[in-house]
Amino acid sequence: MKILVIHGPNLNLLGRRETGVYGAETFDSLNRRIVSLCSELGMDVEIFQSNSEGGIVDAIQAKPYDLLVINPAAYTHTSIAIRDAIAAMARPVIEVHISNIYTREEFRKHSYISGVSTGQISGLGTDGYLLAVRAAQTLLSK
C-alpha cells in the first residue's frame, strides 16, 4: 500500500516560518518522522512538496498512490483546481493542517478541499501528519 504525502506552498520553510503558529519542527525532521512511521507500519510512502498549484495538480494526477495525505497550505482556501484533481482521482484523501484553521483569520475557515476529503486533521501541529498516516493504515486495511 502506498501513501503520497503532498506539502503545499511555504511548508518547505517549516521550523523557520511563523514558529508560533506552525511550531519549531523542521521540514526535514517532519519528513523523517513520516518515513520512519510508514516503514514501521509496513507502508510505502512518497513525499512531494511544491510551491506551485500546477505542480500539485500534476502530482495528484500522475504519481502512483493508494491514499493521499495533503496539506494544501494556502491553496486550501483558493484552489478549485486542486479540489477538482482530488475529485477526479477518486481515492481516499486525508487533509492535514498544522494549525487550527477554524480559530484563525476568517479567510482560513473555508477549505475547498474538505468537500472532497475523506477526513481532516487540523490544529494538532506537525504530529497531525503522523496521525494521518495511522488513519491511512486503518482506511486502507478496510
Residues that bind ligand DQA (CB under 6 A): 10, 71, 73-74, 76, 97-99, 101, 108
The set of cell numbers assigned to 123 is 490544529
Shortest Å, Cβ 10 to ligand DQA: 5
Grid coordinates belonging to 134? 495511522
Q: Which is nearer to ligand DQA, 92 or 128 (CB)?
A: 128
Whether residue 22 lies in the annotated active site: yes
CB closer to ligand DQA out of 114 and 118: 114
Q: How far apart are CA 71 and CA 43, in angstroms?
A: 19
Query: Active site residue: 65, 75, 97, 129, which one?
Result: 97
Nearer to ligand DQA, 21 or 39 (CB): 21
Q: How far is the CB of 105 from ligand DQA (least distance, A)?
A: 8
Taking the C-alpha atoms of residue 46 and residue 4, their distance in angstroms, rounded to an integer, is 5
- Least CB distance from residue 83 to ligand DQA, whole Å? 15
- The number of beta carbons lying within 10 Å of the beta carbon of residue 123 is 13
Which H or E run contains 1?
none
Asked whether the CA dihedral 37, 41, 47, 53 is positive or negative, the reply is negative
Any catalytic annotation for residue 110? no
In the complex, least distance from residue 95 CB atom to ligand DQA, rounded to whole angstroms: 9
Taking the C-alpha atoms of residue 87 and residue 67, their distance in angstroms, rounded to an integer, is 13
Q: Are 93 and 118 in contact (CB under 8 A)?
A: yes
- The residue among 10 and 118 lying less far from ligand DQA, judged by its C-beta, is 10
Residues carrying an active site annotation: 22, 97
